[in-house]
A and B are shown apart, each in its own frame.
Chain A
């Protein structure tokens, strides 16, 4: 049997299998998901890092063990995504009430050129005074991004430059494991929902 004929036969079989697959759909199975965010299985330890903190101290991620951490990446000049994300975090913390004391927001800049600690502190403080930013050298920040699979690309603009960057948020549990990833655009209620689960653990 020559190859084109064999290919035609296998393609026909594939089509038949696809038709059967679509036709023979059974009953809908319920998949209750505890989290609104995407969940990792098994969870891995969040890579530790040391950066300059916006609070003037060394920012070592592992110092927040015992708390639930929202870890996100962005920059203070971000025109759209970062302000929305940070406002969402702030609102979620307000909704959590007293339990918010065990939630720490860590925001790592992708723009070390402009985001010096003082500027990060002012920017983050406008949303919530407990938020901590991290900055460092380009190499330090690139290493952190690589460890977390975060992308950031400098894009020239009319007024200088912007960054196209990953917009999701990692949710770290009290033991410092990456448990979930919340895509951009989720509501404060979704964060409250998932944070509540992690806080109760």
Chain B
């Protein structure tokens, strides 16, 4: 059978094409904002004993691509969210201009702190591949976590 070698060639070719695209296409983003939102009803759910995690302990941002942290409180009560106290309906938009690791005290986390890693813009081909792989992994984890959460509730 010649199907298997042909299939292998197609798979290898596709993988190479994806790798080439990942390495050579400049990284761009439709929005530079990384948004986290406290949904309405979060406080009520916490009061009823539910464990509600909205902000991850560690947030990754990339300069020039996604380098603005946006926090929004859609709930009906003030909430300590990330580094600050957010009023109902209020948003907080924090831009980053330097690659560094920023640590904020945050009582919403068990560790008592929130870490924001701001990485430099991925300008080399390998950096672009790494960035896209990391994004894919991060988005997959986030979506999986949301789906599992919905499935359980």
- A residues sitting closer than 8 Å to B (CB atoms) are 3, 6-7, 10-11, 14-15, 17-19, 21-22, 25-29, 31, 33, 35-42, 44, 147-149, 151, 153, 164-168, 181, 183, 185
Number of interface residues of B (CB under 8 A): 43
Question: At the interface, yes or no: B147 with Cβ under 8 Å from chain A?
Answer: yes
A183 & B147 in contact (Cβ 8 Å cutoff): no
Complex Cα distance, B93 from A40, in Å, reads 7
B85 & A148 in contact (Cβ 8 Å cutoff): yes
Complex Cα distance, B140 from A15, in Å, reads 5
B135 & A22 in contact (Cβ 8 Å cutoff): yes
Q: List 17 A-B contacts (CB under 8 A).
A: A7-B148, A14-B146, A14-B147, A15-B140, A22-B132, A22-B136, A25-B27, A28-B64, A29-B29, A29-B32, A31-B31, A33-B95, A38-B69, A38-B83, A42-B90, A44-B90, A167-B105
Question: At the interface, yes or no: B126 with Cβ under 8 Å from chain A?
Answer: no
Complex Cα distance, B28 from A130, in Å, reads 46
Complex Cα distance, B29 from A19, in Å, reads 14
Ranked nearest first, the 6 interchain pairs of A and B with the lowest CB-CB distance are A149-B85, A38-B94, A14-B143, A18-B139, A28-B28, A33-B95
- B residues sitting closer than 8 Å to A (CB atoms) are 27-33, 64-65, 68-69, 80, 83-87, 89-95, 97, 100, 102, 104-105, 107, 112, 132, 135-136, 139-140, 142-144, 146-148, 151
Output the nearest chain B residue to A166 by Cβ-Cβ distance: B105
Output the nearest chain B residue to A43 by Cβ-Cβ distance: B90
Distance (whole angstroms) from the CB of B96 to the closest CB of chain A: 9
Complex Cα distance, B84 from A183, in Å, reads 10
Complex Cα distance, B107 from A82, in Å, reads 21
Across chains A and B, the number of contacting residue pairs, with CB separation under 8 Å, is 111
Main secondary structure of the interface of B (DSSP, over half): mixed
Complex Cα distance, B67 from A29, in Å, reads 12
Please judge, given known A-B contacts A25-B30, A183-B102, whether A151 and B107 are in contact too, CB under 8 Å.
yes
Distance (whole angstroms) from the CB of B44 to the closest CB of chain A: 20
Main secondary structure of the interface of A (DSSP, over half): mixed
Chain A residues in 8 Å Cβ range of B89: 42
Complex Cα distance, B107 from A10, in Å, reads 33
Kindly identify which residue among B87, B105, B147 contacts A165, using a CB–CB cutoff of 8 Å: B105
B65 & A40 in contact (Cβ 8 Å cutoff): no
A25 & B92 in contact (Cβ 8 Å cutoff): no
Distance (whole angstroms) from the CB of B35 to the closest CB of chain A: 12
A18 & B90 in contact (Cβ 8 Å cutoff): no
Output the nearest chain A residue to B146 by Cβ-Cβ distance: A14
A21 & B139 in contact (Cβ 8 Å cutoff): yes
Chain B residues in 8 Å Cβ range of A40: 90-92
Known: A10-B151, A168-B83; 8 extra A-B contacts, CB below 8 A, are A7-B147, A15-B140, A18-B140, A25-B29, A29-B30, A31-B33, A41-B91, A149-B86
